[in-house]
Structure 1
Amino acid sequence: MSKPTVLITGASTGIGATYADRFARRGHALVLVARDVAKLEALAAKLRAEAGVAVDVLPADLTDPADVAKVEARLADDAAIGVLINNAGASLPGAFTQQSGADVARLVALNISAVTVLANAAARRFAAEGQGAIVNIGSVVGLAPEFAMAVYGGSKAYVLHFSQALQAELGPKGVYVQAVLPAATRTEIWKKSGRDADQIPGLMEVDDLVDAALVGFDRREPVTIPPLPDHAAFEAFDNARKAMLPGFGNAKPGARYRANEPA
């Protein structure tokens, strides 16, 4: 059987381009999505020559609803596509009060809305076919409100919740959903957000990040956190969360919220 085609967003540089390289070398055809046509074409030519795979270029600005719809249609209609890498994303410089409403809206459109719409298009077909994989690139910042990256961190917290909920829904139907949570990684996101990557401690190289994420992919991990030394720490966190679930079904408020009762 032929290997499924992999559609990768944000594929022109960084994490997306590295995923493209790795899947091409595994023998997968690719559909590369990003805004920068010149970089996409250069990467596509390189991968065709080096890996001998078919590579299509699909230019799109995923903050533009019309372009999102174009990629959505490709995912819905192209039966060869069996893996979606939802990688495109952005950050914003400065504190929340220094960010404009328009900039915040664009970040939400890219980091949340596009991720959701494209996953929906893939999930509908994958579930009907009983196979496929969706990889959503989140961030450890989604677990760390203390970092005070309100919109970016909130968008990545959404990606984690969204991915876990999709895995619960789609896993029994044969569809694998993985959330990948990088920490600081050497990509263009730092320059675009006004940061000097060389001044950031503990910066992971993108090759190491993607190779680790693919180990998790091959193991079918629902959540992969490449920089975390002991995955049991996340499992303990997740189990603590799950332990709260029975308490959410109480018809009365907790005693600490009721008058004249001890906390």
Structure 2
Amino acid sequence: MASRPTILVTGASSGIGTVYADRFAKRGHDLVLVARDADRLGSLAQRLRGETGVAVDVLPADLTKADDLTRVETRLREDARIGILINNAGAALLGRFEDQSTERMADLIGLNVTALTRLAGAVAPRFAASGEGAIVNIGSVVGLAPEFGMTVYGATKAFVLYLSQGLHLELGPKGVYVQAVLPAATRTEIWGRSGADVNTMSGVMEAGDLVDAALVGFDRRETVTIPPLPDAGQWDSYQMARMAMLPNFAQDQAAERYRTTR
């Protein structure tokens, strides 16, 4: 692999994806940009070529459509120049669970879970075989907080975190770096598409600040990066509490507290 591998960014036409493309182009990486909006991708590609001189390929694709998803998978499998996947494309679904249609839930899961997993699955064998490469999965702090009330969306992001941690354990020893990035509310178009006005919200991080922080975590090779979390010790304590439970899961009988009716 070249010293500066090509980066494939999904959801590259706006928000977090656009900033990732900008930041990696300024680091001298060639790019493959994936999103539904071909015109916006073309404009972004033209700007980045002019500003940085890197090569930028545009791959318009709707990752909820089988043929488009397959085209991106094929590119990841066959283009040996691609050494980093930024799995950013995603959507949100607001409102109460009982008010959401099963069709919208299925669409959300298709993009946030199925497409993300398939793209990681397309590139992981090649990375593992070469002993290098990186997969960055964009999750959300909502995946840790059912109290925030975005049940289906949060469940998809909990999946992203678990998948990333599992891939870290499987692929890390083979030289592949896997990072989960967990933003909180970030100023992107995802809010308008889901029916919310981001301008009425407080505590909203700018996409540039979010990605710059995520790239600090990337350069440090963090497994989980939570840009809005001030105290890293809170995450460490969370992890320690989870790990402390693991030995207690392997029992041939139910715990004593479940063997009484009182």
TM-score of the superposition, structure 2-length normalised? 0.98
Please state whether the residue corresponding to 2:186 is helix, strand or coil: coil
Cα separation, 1, equivalents of 2:71 and 2:98: 34
Question: 2:128 corresponds to which residue?
Answer: 127
Report whether the alignment pairs 1:203 with 2:204: yes
Cα separation, 2, equivalents of 1:109 and 1:128: 28
Structure 2: unaligned runs, 5 residues or longer: none
Question: 2:60 corresponds to which residue?
Answer: 59
Deviations 1:147-176 (A, max 9, x none): 121110000000000000000000000000
Q: CA deviation at 1:102?
A: 0.8
Deviations 1:70-123 (A, max 9, x none): 100000000000000000000013211111111100000000000000001111
Q: After TM superposition, what 4+ stretches of structure 1 lie above 2 angstroms from structure 2? A: none
Please state whether the residue corresponding to 2:260 is helix, strand or coil: coil
Cα separation, 1, equivalents of 2:85 and 2:203: 29
Q: CA deviation at 1:46?
A: 0.2
Are 2:31 and 2:57, in contact at CA under 8 Å, matched by a contact in 1? yes
Please state whether the residue corresponding to 1:83 is helix, strand or coil: strand
Please state whether the residue corresponding to 2:117 is helix, strand or coil: helix
AA aligned to 1:208 is: D
Report whether the alignment pairs 1:246 with 2:247: yes
Question: 1:105 corresponds to which residue?
Answer: 106
AA aligned to 1:235 is: D
Cα separation, 2, equivalents of 1:132 and 1:37: 27
Question: 1:114 corresponds to which residue?
Answer: 115
Cα separation, 2, equivalents of 1:54 and 1:154: 37
Please state whether the residue corresponding to 1:32 is helix, strand or coil: strand
Deviations 1:160-194 (A, max 9, x none): 00000000000000000000000000000110111
Please state whether the residue corresponding to 2:205 is helix, strand or coil: coil
Question: 2:94 corresponds to which residue?
Answer: 93
Cα separation, 2, equivalents of 1:259 and 1:99: 40
Q: CA deviation at 1:145?
A: 0.7
Q: CA deviation at 1:259?
A: 2.7
Deviations 1:185-214 (A, max 9, x none): 000011011111111110001110000000
Structure 1: unaligned runs, 5 residues or longer: none
Cα separation, 1, equivalents of 2:94 and 2:249: 37
The range that moved more, 203-212 or 87-96, is 87-96
Question: 1:233 corresponds to which residue?
Answer: 234
